Amino acid sequence: MKDQLEALIGQLADRGILLGEAVAEFERRFIKHVMDSEEGNQSRAARTLGIHRNTLGRKLEEYKLDRNGRRHF
């Protein structure tokens, strides 16, 4: 996994992706994955992520994800 992460970091840097963009995209996808795994249950997802449920709610809004982790516009 470490080698895969190193390769991904190299690709992002080579493409000129800024750190903030990379971090935000990783966080969005991580949250989406956990929300899917927890079948949309925000309390369980927040516990799995190690954050407060209110923080998760704000991040769902920020990334325009619905309570099931799907993107909405």
Domain-located, residue 7:
yes
Burial of residue 56, with CB atoms counted within 10 A of its CB: 0-12 exposed, 13-18 middle, 19 or more buried:
buried
Tell me: the pLDDT tens digits for 10-69?
A: 999 999 999 999 999 999 999 999 999 999 999 999 999 999 999 999 999 999 997 665
User: What is the count of structural domains for the chain?
Assistant: 1
Question: Is the residue at 67 inside a domain?
Answer: no
Residue with tokens 């927040």, as numbered in its chain: 46
- For the cut 70, the answer to whether the pLDDT of residue 73 exceeds it is no
0.85 surpassed by pTM: no
Asked if residues 43 and 53 have their Cβ atoms less than 8 Å apart, the reply is yes
Number of other CB atoms surrounding residue 69 within 10 Å: 22
The answer, yes or no, to whether residue 71 has pLDDT greater than 70, is no
pLDDT for position 67: 66
CATH for 54: 1.10.10.60
Quick check: is 54 in a domain?
A: yes
Residue 16 lies in a domain: yes
Which residue range is the domain that position 40 belongs to?
2-62
